[in-house]
Amino acid sequence: MTSSMVLAIRFSALLNALPGNIAQGLIWGIMAIGVYMTFRILDFADLTVDGSLATGGCVCVMLIRAGLSPVLAVLAAFLVGMLCGGITGFLHTGLGIPGILASILTQIGLYSINLNILGQSNQPVAASKYKLLASLAYVNTTNTAVKVIFFAGLALAVFLLILLTYWFFGTEIGHAIRATGSNEQMAKAQGINTNAIKVLTLMISNAFVAMSGALIAQFQGAADVNMARGSIVIGLAAVIIGEVIFGKFCAKRKAAFAFTLGAVVIGAIIYFIVYAIVIWLKLPSEDMKLFSAIIVAIFLAIPHLKEKYGRKGAKANG
């Protein structure tokens, strides 16, 4: 077999893997929207994500195994995610613990809670036994109709969530969240209860994260206590990639915020496509977290480097 034939086979393997990575990107995009709420809008470093995503997955899987509808199981995960965010919010606003430490404490506590929910380190949930909302089996199936329905339904669900989020941040409460994130002291002067706003935003953000975790657990066919480890890096990567690549495009649109939310989801899809390419290149799988960190660092540095060297270029031309 020639080297060109081997390369063709390997490239076809990459193409075959892409639909699964795109599906993952859409599901993780829901989580990335939650991260965007705290990281960009509220200006709050929330690490609860590394716990609440797994909590959503654990709750969802155990409820499905107990006979509950997957739809209701996802809604239950959404509510549990709100509770997780509320705990972080209370630790921060009620007990005066710095935000990043409050979120770390919640994250640590959730590991034990997740272990107790599962009863062991992981629990399976097979698409062959349960009517799941998301599954890799729907991507790998030879039934084209099932595959199309799955991708169309997933894309529609993400689109509706973007519209709902866009609508919410256009309400009075949404404007209060933006004001709190932009200038907390000014928001207080305008009569906004910034502590309540912080708690509410953390609850909504982690609700999105936990809902994403519920779909991720279904998609991968199991919930695991370690499934959320490093998820904040993926969320930040999606946000940063979306902003760097589509920032100027989004800013020029009338509904700029809605386009930004869409860019965040596309950022998650791009991240998982890059992930697929890394695997295709046969790079060590144990180094994936390192590659993720490098990707985030690169995209975080791009705006700064563009501004820095843009100024130098302007001075040189002047």
Rounded Cα gap, residues 30 and 211, in angstroms: 8
Asked if residue 42 belongs to a domain, the reply is: yes
Helix axes 49-65, 231-251, angle to 10 degrees: 110
Across 193-197, 208-212, 313-317, least confident range: 313-317
pLDDT tens column, 34-89: 999 999 999 898 999 999 999 999 999 999 999 999 999 999 999 999 999 999 99
Provide the pairing of β-strand 222-224 with 122-124. antiparallel
Asked if residue 308 belongs to a domain, the reply is: no
Record the pTM: 0.90
Asked if residue 198 belongs to a domain, the reply is: yes
Rounded Cα gap, residues 113 and 104, in angstroms: 14
Q: Which residue is associated with the tokens 């760097």? A: 244
pLDDT tens column, 284-308: 767 777 777 787 788 778 777 777 7
Rounded Cα gap, residues 56 and 3, in angstroms: 46
The CATH number of the domain holding residue 190 is 1.10.3470
pLDDT tens column, 113-145: 999 999 998 899 988 888 899 999 999 888 889
**Residue 32, token pair as written in the block:** 């990335």
Rounded Cα gap, residues 188 and 42, in angstroms: 14
Exposure of 278 by Cβ count < 10 A (0-12 exposed, 13-18 middle, 19+ buried)?
middle
The DSSP-derived string for 184-252 is HHHHHHTT--HHHHHHHHHHHHHHHHHHHHHHHHHHHTEEETTTTTTHHHHHHHHHHHHHHHHHHHHHT
Q: Report residue 43: phi and psi, to 5°.
A: 60, 50
Whether the per-residue pLDDT at 4 is higher than 70: the answer is no
DSSP bridge partners of 223: 123
Identify the residue with better confidence: 43 or 8: 43
What pLDDT, on the 0 to 100 scale, is given for residue 314? Answer: 57
Asked if residue 318 belongs to a domain, the reply is: no
Rounded Cα gap, residues 177 and 199, in angstroms: 10
Identify the residue with better confidence: 315 or 101: 101
Q: Cβ(127)–Cβ(138) under 8 Å?
A: yes
What pLDDT, on the 0 to 100 scale, is given for residue 312? Answer: 64
pLDDT tens column, 239-273: 988 888 887 777 766 678 888 999 999 999 998 88
What pLDDT, on the 0 to 100 scale, is given for residue 5? Answer: 46
pLDDT tens column, 202-242: 999 999 999 999 999 999 999 999 998 888 888 988 998 88
Q: Which residue is associated with the tokens 């709420």? A: 37
Asked if residue 263 belongs to a domain, the reply is: yes
Q: Which amino acid is at 305?
A: L
pLDDT tens column, 170-194: 999 999 999 999 999 999 998 999 9
Structural domain of 56: 3-281
Q: Cβ(194)–Cβ(37) under 8 Å?
A: no
Helix (H) or strand (E) holding 38: none
Domain count, the chain: 1
Asked if residue 225 belongs to a domain, the reply is: yes
DSSP bridge partners of 112: none
Asked if residue 312 belongs to a domain, the reply is: no
